[in-house]
Amino acid sequence: MAVAHGSQTRLAYVMETVPGTIPATPTWKIARYVTEGLTLDKQTVSSDEVRPDRNRSDVTDVGRQVTGPINTLLSYGTFDDWLSALLANDWATNVLKNGNVVKTLAFEKTFELGATDVYARYRGCRMNTLDLQLNAKQNVTANWGVMGIGSPNPDTAIVTGATYTDPTTTPVLNAALNVGSLVMTGVTASPKLQALSLRITNNIYAVDVLGQYETYDFGLGLFEVSGTMTAVFESKDLFDAVINHSDLTLNFTIGASTGNKYTFSVPKLKLTNGSPVGPGNGRAVVMECPFTAIIDATAAASLVITRAVA
């Protein structure tokens, strides 16, 4: 009997026109990923009925919901659809700002089992979170959190008429060679960073109703951008910005070649903490500063992503 192996598991996605409905003849885009944990989460309720023999009388199946992470490495042009779904908006002249446009995807996992493969599909999926991590001399990781409405029963054949598009081949981006600029305004000199994390979340919540087995709808909660920067301590500028609760701006450009770069811009943020700490022998003094983005009136957004940057 054939055993499914992780190295042969294909993950693909398609944008949905009608939320929660897989297109009739989907053009699946094969995804680049490291690990994934998309699952159909069964929701059950245990009975607390009293029995003289002390046994539980029943466990009731009351609902289903798709949840799970998809862990990836950042590369140019690979995740533009996912970024659009995450920021709930359309790209406009290569600029993406957070908005309120509902965008859903369907995912398909193909498990190679020899003569008869197994296909698991997940519909009505929204990108709820993204954790973007830049560490000195490391690849840039982009880990996504997904929430979806439901999953049809596993199948042993592709969707009739479905086609598959090969994944991108752009290089994996790293925080050593591919960070072209990193600028913080609101301080005299931009700090040198050893690490930068950026967490984006839509705070999506499920809407459940009577007579509905699957989730009826998802709501967009507060759009939040937060993170932490680890800065080498070279002056008191950043320390002053923490103490004075200054308005700061963070921009960084990442990409491997001209026209194949992104600029991530947090147009207004507050450092919520941070102090220089003596680490002992053999290590530089650093400041770990958590931050939270707030709405910027000029950008009318908390996060702006620009692609095709020179």
Give CB contacts under 8 A, 24+ apart, made by 280-287: 284/232, 284/233, 285/232, 285/233, 286/194, 286/230, 286/231, 286/232, 286/233, 287/191, 287/230, 287/231, 287/233, 287/238, 287/239, 287/242
Q: Average pLDDT, whole number, for the chain?
A: 95
How far is the first Cα of the chain from the last one, in angstroms, to the nearest whole number? 52
Task: Give the model's confidence band at 26: pLDDT under 50 very low, under 70 low, under 90 confident, else very high.
Answer: very high
How many CB atoms within 10 Å of residue 310? 10
Position 1 pLDDT exceeds 80: no
Q: What is the mean pLDDT of residues 287-300?
A: 97
pTM, rounded to two decimals: 0.94
Q: In angstroms, rounded to a whole number, what is the distance separating the alpha carbons of residues 90 and 88?
A: 7
What are the pLDDT digits (tens) for 113-148?
Answer: 888 899 999 999 999 999 999 999 999 999 999 999
Task: Give the model's confidence band at 161: pLDDT under 50 very low, under 70 low, under 90 confident, else very high.
Answer: very high
Phi-psi region at 297: left, alpha or beta (left = phi > 0; alpha = psi -120 to 50): alpha
Q: In angstroms, rounded to a whole number, what is the distance separating the alpha carbons of residues 172 and 72?
A: 10
Half-sphere exposure of 213 (CA within 13 A, CB side): 7
224-242 as b/e: b if 16+ CB within 10 A: bbbbbbbbebeeebbbebb
Q: What is the mean pLDDT of residues 45-71?
A: 94
What are the pLDDT digits (tens) for 200-248?
Answer: 999 999 999 999 989 999 999 999 999 999 999 999 999 999 999 999 9
Is the Cα dihedral 291, 223, 11, 91 positive or negative? negative
Q: In angstroms, rounded to a whole number, what is the distance separating the alpha carbons of residues 232 and 26?
A: 49
